[in-house]
Amino acid sequence: MKIKKHIIFLLCMLCVCLSFSCSRNPMLDELERIKGVGDKNPDMALSMLDSLELEIRGENEYVKNKYDLLRIRLNDKAEHMPNSDIMIKNLIAYFKNNGSNEDKQEVFYYAGSVYRDLHDTPRALTNFLKSIDYANRGKCDSIMLRNTYSDINYLQYLVQNYKEAVKMAKKEYEMCKSLGTDEVLPNLHIGSSYLALHRTKQAKAAFDAALALIVRAKNISKYQSLLIDMLEDYSDMKDIAKAKKCMSLIDKSALADSSAASCMAFAQYYDAMGNHDSAIIYCKRIVDNVKDITYIYDASRLLFRIYEKNGNAGDACKYADITMRMSDSIDFGKRQEMAATVNNEFQYHLDEKKEHALNCKINRYRNLLVGGSFFMILMVCIAYVLYVKKKNKDLQNILALSSELQRVSEDDRKLHEEIEQKEIELRNSKEGLDKNSIELDKAKEELQCVNEELVIYSKRLNEKEQELSDKKKQNKEITRLLHLSKLEDNAEEIVRAIKKSAEDKRSLETADWKLLYKAVDKLYPSFKDSLFKELGSCNEQQMQVCYLIHIGVSRNLIPLLTGLSRATVWRWSKKYDRVMNYE
């Protein structure tokens, strides 16, 4: 009774522990709710997060760090540029030792975002790659993984590492496809990267796929900025038809947009169309009003080309001078240097992954070797114990056999005495046996006579059985002939007879098959022609299957009638279905 009470008490304590372990901090639930709001309205979510600032001070370290990480996430979504990397460094140090796999994926992703906004491309790339590593180790945020590939594509494109940009854009596309999200942006990334590699065919295929998705979309207004980018790309590739298609989908109000990207796209479009005056207007908007030197460089270069083509040497020289000054400001050499640095960081990350994989492999082999050695030692010990046990057992068997041999010797002596006694008794009984042998000979003669009579009777019985079998065959043949003569001109009755044979699981003879073919051909005159027209040629078994199916015999009974396997019947039933569809 006491044991039962102890067991009940332990079960109660276990339930209490489980209830405490399953309880979740309400502050974490509130942070998750704010995160959901931030996906649509990050500014509102930041206000909600600020309202928790006093309450968060009384929480544990994990909740405080989740709070800080959420703040970085919301600022990133609201496009608030960071001033330093101090907070993200502290978060990395904490979650690297205390966070889950998803926490580590998130903290390294936003570390990459912070360094991207601080224009520290090498460290941004390093942290994005670490985020991908943690995402591939187990449970992860798939949307964040997709965004990581997109950011790496942007960074690699920025430093002119276009091959890696293509790879990342393709991985972004694969993630979008698996998630069922919009595939327009990854197609544009793929196309832009291929275009930078001067692989126009692949770039055009990607842009065409993006344009087809936009055309099929119900809400084209949300793709206006992407259409403007595609307009510039198609114009650059001199694909006038697709450029016109993009222009037709762009809202006319965008033509008055003075942003650098829009002006450059419209300038490229009008230049490709031969409307140089409009192209000059949009290029001058960039040169006069935009501060981004990259766009000024592209616009002045286009103006130089237009004025040179029109023979306006003065303006051509003016914009050639601007182009040269912008080229010096852009410092393409520094870009190449940054590209080399990023490539080195990328290669270092790959080498680090390889080294980690190699160390894991070495540790696995080491553990396997230790385990194998332990197993071998254990097997040797077991073998030795079994050997000693077997040896002791053999000794016990020898002792048992020795005592058994002694007992057998004693029994043998007694047996010899009994045999001598029996011999005396046998000699006495031999005289009586001689008398009985005479009577036995007489009985043998009588038994031989009886056997001869039995042989004669058996022969007669076999003859009777043979006669009976012949009569049965004769009656069966007469019945079949009568049946054929009655049904010879009635096809429907023949079909019903064949179906009855199928239900009775009776095998059909050659004559029955011929009768079936004739009946079906009479009932369905076009069936045989359709069968040979669709299938070409059929052997006898294939025709049997198709004809039986056509008269409605169950496909489970056909193997019993034809002797074919179920797989063969199933395959030919599919061909029969094709014949019926053809008809």
The pLDDT tens digits of the residues spanning 528-551 come to: 888 887 777 778 888 888 888 888
Predicted pLDDT of residue 581: 66
Look up residue 294 and give its two tokens. Answer: 């990259």
Predicted pLDDT of residue 167: 95
CA 301/CA 294 separation, integer angstroms: 11
Predicted pLDDT of residue 286: 87
pLDDT tops 80 at residue 166: yes
Q: What is the mean pLDDT of residues 55-70?
A: 91
CA 279/CA 306 separation, integer angstroms: 9
DSSP codes of every residue in 310-337:
HT-HHHHHHHHHHHHHHHHHH-HHHHHH
Residue found under tokens 């008809």: 583
The pLDDT tens digits of the residues spanning 214-242 come to: 999 888 888 988 999 999 899 989 999 99
CA 498/CA 492 separation, integer angstroms: 10
Q: Are 338 and 121 in contact (CB under 8 A)?
A: yes
Residue 555 has a CB neighbour count (10 Å cut-off) of 15
> Which amino acid makes up residue 176?
C
CA 298/CA 285 separation, integer angstroms: 12
Closest to 547 (Cα-Cα) out of 483, 493, 498, 481: 498
pLDDT category of residue 553 using cuts at 50, 70 and 90: confident
Predicted pLDDT of residue 519: 87
Nearby residues of 60 by Cβ (< 8 Å), 6 or more positions away = 25
Residue 270 has a CB neighbour count (10 Å cut-off) of 21
The average confidence (pLDDT) of the chain is 80
Q: What is the mean pLDDT of residues 281-297?
A: 87
The pLDDT tens digits of the residues spanning 508-533 come to: 778 888 888 888 888 888 888 888 87
Predicted pLDDT of residue 355: 59
Cα distances from 76 to residues 60, 82, 108, 500, in angstroms, run: 25, 8, 13, 79
Q: Are 42 and 74 in contact (CB under 8 A)?
A: yes
Residue found under tokens 């809202």: 251
The pLDDT tens digits of the residues spanning 84-129 come to: 999 999 999 999 999 999 999 999 999 999 999 999 999 999 999 9
The pLDDT tens digits of the residues spanning 460-472 come to: 777 656 645 543 4
What sign does the CA torsion over 540, 544, 546, 547 have?
Answer: positive
pLDDT tops 90 at residue 393: no
Please tell me the number of Cα atoms within 13 Å of 402 on its side-chain side.
Answer: 6
Predicted pLDDT of residue 117: 92
pLDDT category of residue 499 using cuts at 50, 70 and 90: low
Which of 280-289, 301-310, 425-434 is the least confident region?
425-434
What are φ and ψ of residue 189, in 5° steps?
-65, -45
Buried b (16+ CB within 10 A) or exposed e, 183-212: bbbbbbbbbbbbbbeeeeeebbebbbbbbe
pLDDT tops 90 at residue 479: no
Domain layout of the chain by residue ranges: 491-582
DSSP single-letter state for residue 449: H
DSSP codes of every residue in 63-115:
HHHHHHHHHHHHHHHTTPPPS-SHHHHHHHHHHHHH--HHHHHHHHHHHHHHH
Predicted pLDDT of residue 314: 87
Angle between helices 61-77 and 26-38 (to 10 degrees): 10
CA 49/CA 352 separation, integer angstroms: 38
Buried b (16+ CB within 10 A) or exposed e, 431-455: eeeeeeeeeeeeeeeeeeeeeeeee
What is the percentage of the chain residues whose pLDDT exceeds 70? 81
